[in-house]
Amino acid sequence: MSKASGNKSEKDVTRRNFLKGTAAAAGAAIAAVSATTRLAQAAETAADAPAAAKPAAAKKLPSETFITNPGSDFMADVMRTVGLQYLAINPASGFRSLHESIINHLGNKNPEIITCMHEETAAGVAHGYAKAAGKPMGIMMHGTVGLQHATMGIYNAWCDRVPMMIFASNGMQADKRRPGVEWTHSVQDAAGLVRDFVKWDDQPASLQHFAESCARAWKFTMTSPMEPVMVMCDIELQEDPVHGRPRMPKMTRLTQPQGDTAALREAAKLLVAAQKPVIIADRACRSQQGVKLMVELAEALGAAVVDNGWRTNFPSTHDLNLSFMRQSLVRDADVVLLLEVNDPWGNLNSFSDPYKTYRPIHKPDAKIITIAMQDVYLKSNYQDIQRFMPVDLAIGGDVEATLPDLIEAVKRAMSAGRKNEAAGRAAAVAKLHRQMIERDKEASANGWNASPVSTARLSAELYNAIKGEKWALAVSDRTSWPRRLWPVTEHHQMLGGTGGAGVGGSLPIALGAALANKDKGIFTATIQPDGDLMYAPGALWTAAHHKIPLLLVMHNNRCYHQEIMHVQRMAGIHQRRQDTCHIGNKITNPDIDFAKVAQGLGMWAEGPITDPSKIGAALKRAVAEVKNGRPALIDVVTQGR
């Protein structure tokens, strides 16, 4: 009791009065209280029951029955066998038994519970973790209301092709449901809510079924295209004792699907014969090995590479990197190779908004080749499939698994003459690369000392503060400057965006990446937009509580900037006033004090900073905090995007 909480004897009297006459007074221990509660419930049930159903007097009361082998212990063991390191939850009675099994049976380790204040945060954390760790994390949701909150985070993960093991509770046996909330929180088909954007789901009816479904779910989520999967956790299955001898099946050793060898030979011939081949990559690489293979392919062909940045696919420092020259490259190309590109049509056509006119950028006779899992597995309802693009050769396969065969085929098809041509081409591309870098550097200096701070200055200051660390930028698409200016050579350094562009995803995704990077000694930073943070700011408490070392640098433009631009565009085409377009879009009056918000949730924080010359020193202090294991936030007032 704290000193401020008042007179002790007075409190005790109040407490005594409260307990007087209640069964709970018989014992102070929590276990005894819960036993009493059960006793009271049992008595109530017995009184209500028809005479014939009353238990015989000699029989044990339900309150004298203990379950020492709940099904949830076995289910928790299954989660451990599947390899889950963490399980993000917002607690719920639907999985109270599993929750207890994880903390008391497993000792809250493998999986360890990550407490989240919103289910969307839990999904986002698992999303970011998967990208940084290369394996799924678990989330456990209350099957109805919890899952309803989690949906957008799951959709982001689906669009971003990341593995995730979703568990959700449900009470399938209606006669066992507690009256009231357990009914409103039960559903015939809980997975129906997310079925359009999970790869597979199941509602196991036995523990053996649960074990086999988890093994299957893990296999599906870890096979390209990697996407979330969901296994329901029936309440009775959790709370009943284990029946029979359920067994966890052996875990499968996975390989990723590879493109057809004959088709790859054909692709290699086209690429080798090309005068101006271009490679465009989206979610092509899963690891540094993938980046190495990309370099080998590009160098063998002397081909320019456009890395769209949804993962790190190609070093930004490499001479063949022309990521920000896609339009001119596509215009001149005779062969374009698209590697797990989500939107081939959008990459090869220009679209004018708001006029909605479009035209192809590529030459009519340019050969288009795709290697992707996109054609192998998709669903019909949500339209992240993008516009149909006719191509000359579509090869189904995981890019990283397919590249070795393609590289070999290219090398075999390469004559001495073609090798010389490739070397000449590479030299020309290298020149363009240097020009591109110079242009970006010059452009970044625009408004260098401006206040509010430019995003280019913010990015440069952040890089300066973390360049001595083994660093990662968890969400790397909030402004294009880091991708333009920072030397990126490692796959872990930039992990892409939110996938589905569901705002509110950036913060938890960054948190999840930092959680995974913690074990690898990687320092994680993120550029955090203001609007995104405010969807579920409770994620900051999760960062502080679990000591997740993340540096958040606010890109606080005090508005939903992207949307202001849309409304301005509409005002333009409607020929109406522009000065009202801030309505509904500005996040001012009051200005949000993000440092205070973060401090209130247990983080180290400074700001708001409006003078760009003050950012460097503040970041230095923040980096030191994060290196000591404490998440930190620096609030910088910015402009634009």
Which residues contribute to the site for ligand TPP (CB under 6 A)? 152, 501-504, 529-532, 557, 559-563, 641
Between 399 and 636, CB nearer to Mg ion: 636
Minimum separation from the CB atom of position 156 to ligand TPP (A): 9
Work out how close the CB of 641 gets to Mg ion at its nearest, in angstroms, rounded to a whole number. Answer: 8
Contacted by 504, from ligand TPP, Mg ion, none: CB < 5 to 8 Å by type: ligand TPP
Q: Which one of ligand TPP, Mg ion, none is in contact with 195 (Cβ closer than 5 to 8 A by kind)?
A: none
501 binds, among Mg ion, ligand TPP, none (CB under 5 to 8 A by kind): ligand TPP
Q: Which is closer to ligand TPP, CB of 472 or CB of 554?
A: 554
To ligand TPP, the closest distance from the beta carbon of 500 in angstroms equals 8
Cβ 246 to ligand TPP, closest distance in Å? 40
Q: Which is nearer to Mg ion, 72 or 557 (CB)?
A: 557
Of 502 and 512, the one with the shorter C-beta distance to ligand TPP is 502
Which CB atom, from 302 or from 531, has the smaller least distance to ligand TPP? 531
In terms of Cβ atoms closer than 10 Å to its own Cβ (0-12, 13-18, 19+), residue 213 is buried
Shortest spacing between CB 456 and ligand TPP, in angstroms: 14
Name, in order, each residue with C-beta under 8 angstroms of 180's C-beta and a sequence gap of 6 or more.
none
Choice between 151 and 288, CB closer to ligand TPP:
151
Closest approach of ligand TPP to the CB of residue 198, in Å:
19
Question: 152 or 366, CB closer to ligand TPP?
Answer: 152
* 418-424: long-range pairs with CB below 8 Å, 24+: 418/272, 418/273, 421/275, 421/302, 422/300, 422/301, 422/302, 422/303, 423/302, 424/302
Query: In whole angstroms, how far apart are CA 31 and each of 28, 34, 555?
Result: 9, 5, 49
Residue 545 binds what, of ligand TPP, Mg ion, none (CB under 5 to 8 Å, by partner type)?
none
The conformational region for residue 610 under phi > 0 = left, psi -120 to 50 = alpha, else beta, is alpha
How would you write 280-298 as a 3-class SS string? EECCCCCCHHHHHHHHHHH
CB of 560 to Mg ion, least distance (A): 6
161 binds, among Mg ion, ligand TPP, none (CB under 5 to 8 A by kind): none
Binding footprint of Mg ion on the chain (CB under 5 A):
529-531, 557, 561
**Are the C-beta atoms of 165 and 221 separated by less than 8 Å?**
yes
641 binds, among ligand TPP, Mg ion, none (CB under 5 to 8 A by kind): ligand TPP
Classify each residue of 69-100 as buried b or exposed e, where b means 16 or more C-beta atoms within 10 Å of its C-beta.
ebbbbbbbbbbbbbbbbbbbbbebebbebbbb
Smaller CB distance to ligand TPP: residue 472 or 503? 503
Please give the C-alpha separations between residue 538 and each of 86, 284, 312, 525, 621, in angstroms, as whole numbers.
19, 33, 29, 18, 24
Structure tokens at 164: 């995730």
Which of 524, 529, 500 is CA-nearest to residue 512? 524
| 148 versus 489: smaller Cβ distance to ligand TPP | 148
Q: Give the residue carrying structure tokens 């000792």.
A: 107
Q: Could you say which of Mg ion, ligand TPP, none residue 302 binds, taking C-beta under 5 to 8 angstroms by partner kind?
A: none
Binds 150: which of ligand TPP, Mg ion, none (CB < 5-8 Å by kind): none
Minimum Å distance from CB 138 to Mg ion?
Answer: 32
In the sheet that 335-339 helps form, which strands lie side by side, from edge to edge? 304-307, 277-281, 335-339, 367-372, 393-396
Query: Which residue has tokens 């989660």?
Result: 79
Structure tokens at 547: 């000591």
Which residue, 100 or 563, is less far from ligand TPP as judged by CB? 563
Least distance in Å: CB of 592 to Mg ion? 10
> Position of tokens 């909030």?
478
Contacts (Cβ under 8 Å, ≥6 apart) of 395: 259, 260, 263, 264, 267, 369, 370, 371, 372, 402
**Which residue matches tokens 């081909």?**
303
Cα–Cα distance measured from residue 271 to residue 278, given in angstroms and rounded to the nearest whole number: 9
Q: Which two tokens stand for residue 641?
A: 């995007």
**Closest distance between ligand TPP and the C-beta of residue 478, in Å?**
7
Tokens 């049930």 appear where? 45
- Of 90 and 506, the one with the shorter C-beta distance to Mg ion is 506
Binding partner of residue 562 among Mg ion, ligand TPP, none, CB under 5 to 8 Å per kind?
A: ligand TPP
Question: Minimum distance between the CB of residue 618 and ligand TPP, rounded to whole angstroms?
Answer: 20
- By C-beta, is 237 or 453 nearer to ligand TPP? 453
Q: In this structure, what token pair is assigned to residue 12?
A: 């005790």
DSSP category for residue 101: I
- The residue number with the shortest CB distance to ligand TPP is 531
For residues 102 and 91, what is the distance between their CA atoms, to the nearest angstrom? 12
Residue whose CB is less far from ligand TPP, 154 or 229: 154
Give the span between the Cα atoms of 414 and 46, in whole angstroms. 84
Based on CB atoms, which residue is closest to Mg ion, 419 or 641?
A: 641
C-beta of 456: minimal distance to Mg ion in Å? Answer: 16
> Which residue(s) pair with 357 in the sheet?
352
Backbone angles phi, psi at 190, to 5 degrees: -60, -40
Q: Among residues 233 and 559, whose Cβ is nearest to Mg ion? A: 559
- Out of ligand TPP, Mg ion, none, what residue 503 binds, judged by CB under 5 to 8 A for its kind, is ligand TPP
Counts of helices then strands in the chain (DSSP H, E): 23, 19
Distance CA 459, CA 640 (A): 13
Give the Cα separation of 574 and 388 in Å (integer): 31
End-to-end CA, the chain: 50
Least distance between ligand TPP and beta carbon 529 (Å): 3
- Amino acid in position 155: Y
Measured from the CB of residue 514, what is the shortest distance to ligand TPP in angstroms?
19
CB of 640 to ligand TPP, least distance (A): 8
Q: Report the distance separating Cα 126 and Cα 88, nearest Å.
A: 7
Q: Give which of 397, 475, 384 is closest to 197, Cα–Cα.
A: 384
400 binds, among ligand TPP, Mg ion, none (CB under 5 to 8 A by kind): none
Q: In which residue are the tokens 């958040």 written?
A: 552
Q: Which does 502 bind (CB under 5 to 8 A by kind): Mg ion, ligand TPP, none?
A: ligand TPP
